Structures are given as structure tokens and as C-alpha cells.
A = this chain, B = another copy of it.
Amino acid sequence: MEFKFAKRMNYLKASDIREILKVSERPEMISFAGGLPAPELFPVEEIKEVSRIVLEEEGAKALQYATTEGYAPLRRWISNRMNTRLGTNFNYEDLLITHGSQQALDLSGKVFLDEEDVVLCESPTYLAAISALRAYGCEFVEVPTDNDGMIMEELERILENTSKVKIIYMIPDFQNPTGRSWSLERREQLVKAANKHQVMIIEDNPYGELRFEGRDLPSVKSFDQIGCVLCLGTFSKTFCPGYRIGWIAGDKRIIDKYVLVKQGTDLQCNTLAQMEIAKYLELYDIDEHIAKIREVYRRRRDLTVQTMGEEFPEGVTFTRPQGGLFAWVELPVGVNAREVLVESLKMNVAFVPGGSFFPNGGKENNFRINFSNMSEERIIKGIRLLGGILRQFV
């Protein structure tokens, strides 16, 4: 039988990263490819304890169907946390629990996007946001960026000249893939531009809590007076990704639409996972836990950046992120990072070529380095090997 798939299947492609990740799972591989948190920092003992308590106290409830909106105590904790850290003003009812923040992206496509609608994004942008939204048939227009976020003159020009723009997608802190953060001024300007053109902003902030230095900035949402900003968050980077628990928060009238759409999509998130995380947050000090993660990642960032400085040839530049999991490497024009990767994999070193982070393609002289998942020893060894390979190309 010849299978007749939906049109969208013609333009959805297997993610480069997933394919590289499969290779990079071999134990001998020094992998800068994934976006994996350091598993040795997962609070396994504490989770054993909260799992026991939740099942003992409310076993039947934890294993039963529950509301689509999510577990209320968890939503309360998250909205309080956001209000304290991000300068927002959410009630728990403004918030829907999602299957990781990746699902919040998928639901955003479902709620907002018709075919041929336009999404503006940073250039480069988070690869899996492209996959999530593209499934709804949208087009991407890439907004040029510098070290402070999108360049406002470029954004304004694009907004003036592009019809059907529905969403501006952005990551304010330690962006994936570049590691860069938006300046305070740009955050405020972004909201003004979105207001003027009546466009929604999706502010995706998975890494904000992982700041190694400098001061936290207020969220883009904190400048929003009309409900045009939606905030995405997740426990994947500050707690454990295996639970697949994230959220979306925004104007209640919009969140109601997300709830409706999530009902048909998968009914609700895992009840037990939500209750276990809520119990952990009640019994333990997550700030202490996050401080530990920050300290380990900061050292790994330091080593990565320092070793890149020592080992990478002239003409190769890279970011020095103030937090998060990623740094971004730019090669001289004409050098193709996919070709570098072929050589690098032979030496058991993996990274993700940057081309896939540009939804409209065409920029192959860059790659992403993840520094959260490898030991210090392997970081030094891997970056040195990579430096040697780069010298063959540059």
C-alpha cells in the first residue's frame, strides 16, 4: 500500500541533533552535542523519598486521571516563583502544566497558527521550536541578532513589511544555541514593537535560573500591559528532564484556549510526576539544589571557554555565556561545520553543526557546544581534539 501522509510530512525532517545524539551515546564519545543536564546532580535520594510519601499519602489520587489544567499546588508554586523572579503578576489559574516546554510550543502552534502565518525568530534560534511550529504550516522570518538580542531596527523593518505575522519567538536568557542574553532595553523595546503591530510574543525561558554571573533581568512579560506575552518554563534544566513537566503562563483568556486544545491532544500531564515535583518543592530547598547545578556548570563553562581560547585557531570566534548550557562557535566564511563534524566524529568528539538552527538555512560556518554534560577532564580533552581538527580547516 502506498501511504498518503499529510502535506506537512513533506517539510518535516528528522532532526540532525537526534541523529547525532544517537551516535554520541556511545560511551567512548566526548559529546558536546546534546542539551542534557548533568545526571550526577539529579536529587535521586530526595525523589525516592517524595515518591514514597506521595504514594503513601495519596496513592490512588496520584495514579488516577486529573484535570487538564494541572495539579493546583504545583501551579501555585510556579506562579509565585515567576512573580518573584521575573517581575510578573500571575495567578495559578493563568498557568497550564505541559509535557515539557516543548509541548507548550506545539500547543502554541495549534492555538495560533494557520498555514502561511509567519513566525519571527532570532537568527539563529532553538531547533526544536522550528520543528514544533513548522508542523502547523507556518513560515519563519529570521530577525538578525547581536549580543543584546534581536536588532530592533531590523525587527521593525520586518514587521512593517511582512503580513500575517502572528508570533515572535525568543529566548531571553542564555539562548539556545548562542548562549547570549537580551539586554534590559531590548526586552522593553520588543514589547513596544509587538504592541504596535499587535503580535504575540512567546518568551521561552528554560535556562534563566542557571545564571553564573551578572544580575537577573526582569522578563519581557514584566513590560507587557495588554496580554501579548506568553511565558514558557520547565523543570527539565533545574530539576529533571525525565519527568517531562513544563508550563505556559499568560492571559487567562489565552490559557483557556490552550487548555481546550490540550484536552484533545493528550488529556493531561502525568499526575504522579506533578505531585512528586510539588512534594519535592514543599520538602526540600530547590534554591540550594539549583546553586549546586550553577556551580558545576559555571566551572564547566570556564574550562570550555578557556580551552577554546587556548586551542582554537585564529579566525574562530565563540561566545562566553553568562549562564545556561551552550556556547556558539563561528568559523571563517566558507568553512562548513558539517564537514568538521565528520572528522570530529572519527576522533570521538561530537557537537551540533549550526545550520539547523537557521530555519531558512544557508549558514553552515558555525556550531553549538554544550558544556553541561561532560566531566571537566573530558571537556579539556574534547576541546583540545576539536582544536586540532579545526586547525585542519581554518
Contacts and interface: CB of A to CB of B under 8 A. Distances in A.
B36 A240 contact: no
Contacts of A65: 34, 36, 236, 241-242
Contact of A263 (B18, B51, B110, B198): B18
A242 B60 CA distance: 9
Given A47-B63, A64-B242, A242-B270, A227 B102 contact: no
A60 B9 CA distance: 35
Interface stretch (A176-184, A254-262, A310-318): A254-262
A265 interface: yes
Contacts of A2: 198
Contact of A113 (B6, B56, B68, B227): B6
Nearest to A240: B63
A289 interface: no
Interface in A229-274: 236, 240-244, 251, 253-254, 257, 260-261, 263-273
A42 B60 contact: yes
A280 to B, nearest CB: 12
A264 B131 contact: yes
A206 interface: no
Contact of A266 (B8, B100, B166, B257): B100
A112 interface: yes
A5 B55 contact: no
A336 to B, nearest CB: 25
Nearest to A43: B63
Given A37-B64, A242-B271, A99 B266 contact: yes
Contact of A42 (B6, B63, B257, B270): B63
A99 B128 CA distance: 19
A81 interface: no
Interface in A60-119: 60-66, 68, 99-100, 102-103, 106, 110-114, 117
A6 B243 contact: no
A55 B47 contact: yes
Contacts of A267: 100, 102, 128, 244
A332 interface: no
A257 B195 CA distance: 38
Contact of A111 (B5, B63, B243, B257): B5
A29 interface: no
Given A51-B55, A135-B110, A267-B128, A261 B12 contact: yes
Contacts of A52: 48, 51-52
A305 interface: no
A18 B200 CA distance: 28
Nearest to A128: B264
A285 interface: no
Given A47-B59, A65-B36, A136-B6, A272 B260 contact: no
A7 B114 contact: yes
A66 B131 contact: no
7 nearest A-B pairs in the assembled complex, by CB-CB distance:
A131-B264, A44-B59, A242-B271, A39-B60, A63-B240, A63-B242, A1-B226
19 contacts: A1-B227, A1-B228, A4-B112, A6-B111, A7-B114, A14-B263, A36-B65, A42-B60, A44-B59, A48-B51, A48-B55, A51-B51, A65-B241, A65-B242, A102-B267, A103-B265, A131-B263, A242-B270, A242-B271
Given A13-B260, A37-B64, 7 more contacts: A1-B195, A4-B166, A14-B263, A102-B266, A242-B270, A242-B271, A244-B266
